Amino acid sequence: MDFHKGQVCFPGGTQEPSDSSLLQTALRETEEEISLRAKDVEILGEFDDSLTLTSNYVISPFVAFIPHPYPFKADGREIREIFSVPLSFLMDEANFKQDSYSYEYQGHVIWGATARILRQFIDLLKSESGALQ
């Protein structure tokens, strides 16, 4: 990987000719990187594409339910560690740094495209919860 080494990100990668769709790419890459099997995933939808500013990669994020707890296993060639952030932390606006468009959680700085995707998710959740009230 030439770009984004050492950065916090979601699993993913480049579409291969054998992938029938971007969803197939996401599922394949997720299994390769963190051992999350496609059969254990319930796809909820897809977010808008997001462009990385430094490398011009186009990210097509998918949202899914997965069982909890899950026996994730990091592929040491691509992933240094796997961590999770509570949804309650992300929903609390006090934890979002608008000036740097980032979150910091237990020493992990989440910024760039990953932060933008999370904000899209949080904004959707907040708009949906407001519509339900």
| Residues counted in the chain | 133
Domain ranges of the chain: 22-132
Tokens of 62: 């998918």
CATH topology of domain 22-132: Nucleoside Triphosphate Pyrophosphohydrolase (3.90.79)
| Contact (Cβ atoms closer than 8 angstroms) between residue 11 and residue 34 | yes
With H, G, I as helix, E, B as strand and everything else as coil, classify residue 70.
coil
Sequence-separated contacts (24+) of 114-120 with Cβ below 8 Å: 114/7, 114/8, 114/9, 114/10, 116/50, 117/10, 117/47, 117/50, 117/59, 117/61, 118/90, 120/47, 120/48, 120/50, 120/61
For the entire predicted model, the pTM comes to 0.87
State the residue for tokens 């592929």: 75
| Predicted local confidence at residue 61, as pLDDT | 96
For 18-75, how does the pLDDT look when each residue is reduced to its tens digit (9 = 90+)? 999 999 999 999 999 999 999 999 999 999 998 888 888 899 999 999 999 999 999 9
With H, G, I as helix, E, B as strand and everything else as coil, classify residue 123.
helix
Percent of the chain residues past pLDDT 90, beyond the cut: 79
